A and B are shown apart, each in its own frame.
Chain A
């Protein structure tokens, strides 16, 4: 079990606000883009998430214990990871190993329970399509809103709108509120916006099954382009062939712990051997 350090969780996130006087490329060359230091993440499965004052009061008054105690679950344990510029990292592991949680941690959605996470630079999370869309707004407005959430100003996004429409083929629906979009259109727009920016760190979660076959082909190509443009890529996938092709370093996670970390071919080979062993057993 990871020890619970008494210190509070600390985030170091050098976004554009800090280090303004220093030139970015000078300041950051010697530091890794991403550094996870002894990071653990604990989920507490609250017996009831809808805890109320009334219940708190009753519990206090009647000195009653909770009917179902909250259970703990360590999703990540003692993760140490440094990612330098130019690295393409593939994360593999069985379902429920903590791969997606790790991505979410890097995207700052989850704060670490213990340890330190330091991420330098802009992050493009391709974790969930259409995150942050407002269905009441039109496609055009959503592009601007989503772009703002990814750290781009209105002006920068307006310059990209045309290209996004070109890619998604949704130009004629740009003035339609998102609630009238089909789910495929919704996903396509989300994908288009998320991949239109030039991030320093790209987080990609496997199941990016968006749209029909033609679009999927376009999407795959676009992700590869994006991977070429960004400084670091972290890809979570179950498809060993694409991992082998796209990544140069593999990280195998099992039960929230890093089992292996090394050249992708070696890690994939070991992982496949292990899965075969596990299946036959």
Chain B
């Protein structure tokens, strides 16, 4: 019956010794992932482009909705808060410059919670690096945020928004925030694959974080003695950069940008490490 067992054994013996390979360190993984992402970049492009198209094809007013939502929010908040704090001038611009970048952060994180579970049919049928799912979510949010920021800024020109030189720094600020958000997204996507109720917690957490970050209020509304508490909030640095650039038209401080970059690096590092060390187990958990 097992007539060919010898053959198998012979094949086994004929195996050359495993060639000495460098240990699978993190540097190797990063470079491997880089190669994979380059190879699969058309997939990422396709997914982003087509998601955008589907999103805007099917809804009646398409892209306008992404504008109307923050616009309405801004109007409401402006009306309410300019009555509460009449001292603040140009409140709508202030709100815009905080809320739109926050949209990038919270949108990326909240949408990423479900990105592995939601793509289960794909993951189980064909190989794609799982890294691309959070990446696609983040890129999608980056695109919509950039568009919304541009369009809303143009709309606010009558209200006193003026293009200034520091705006040249906007791509850097966006890039840093993107990296920070992607790091969190990777972490959250991993956590939600193993603990399915993470999504709910994340949504609540993001809501709380929103109110803990100076977006609808300014840091200066607080007494100087307790302002340092905002430094504990990682999102504060990013929002502050956007406030500086868009609202005040100033160059953000060097230390502010450096802190934001460091935080982005840490977030991306933790997110990536978490994701990669659990990546192999994900398919069995779906």
Contact = CB atoms under 8 A, between A and B. Distances in A.
A54 B198 CA distance: 9
Contacts of A145: 43, 46-47, 50
B46 A144 contact: yes
Given A18-B35, A43-B284, A82 B128 contact: no
B8 A16 contact: no
A109 B124 contact: yes
Interface residues of A, number: 58
A211 B45 CA distance: 32
Contacts of B201: 53
A9 interface: yes
B12 interface: yes
A151 B196 CA distance: 32
Nearest to A136: B54
Contact of B198 (A16, A43, A53, A81): A53
Given A125-B126, A128-B125, A145-B46, A262 B4 contact: yes
Nearest to B55: A136
Contact of B34 (A17, A80, A128): A17
Interface in A53-99: 53-54, 56, 80-82
A interface, over-half SS: mixed
Contacts of B194: 51
Interface in B4-48: 4-5, 7-8, 11-12, 15, 18, 21, 24, 32, 34-36, 38-40, 42-43, 45-47
Q: Which of B4, B34, B35, B195 has the most CB of A within 10 A?
A: B4
B285 interface: yes
Interface residues of B, number: 47
A148 interface: yes
Contact of B196 (A18, A50, A134, A262): A50
A149 B280 contact: no
A158 B233 CA distance: 48
Contacts of A131: 121-122, 125-126
Interface stretch (A180-188, A223-231, A266-274): A266-274
A261 interface: yes
A258 interface: yes
B35 A258 contact: no
A270 B6 CA distance: 14
Given A53-B201, A110-B283, A151-B39, A127 B125 contact: yes
Interface of B: 1-5, 7-8, 11-12, 15, 18, 21, 24, 32, 34-36, 38-40, 42-43, 45-47, 50, 54, 58, 121-128, 194-198, 201, 280, 283-286
Given A136-B54, A262-B7, 14 more contacts: A12-B21, A37-B15, A46-B285, A49-B286, A80-B8, A82-B15, A109-B123, A109-B126, A127-B125, A132-B126, A152-B42, A261-B4, A261-B8, A277-B1
Interface of A: 8-10, 12, 15-18, 37, 43-44, 46, 49-54, 56, 80-82, 107-111, 116, 123, 125, 127-128, 131-132, 134, 136-137, 141, 144-145, 148-149, 151-154, 252, 258-262, 266-267, 270, 273-274, 277
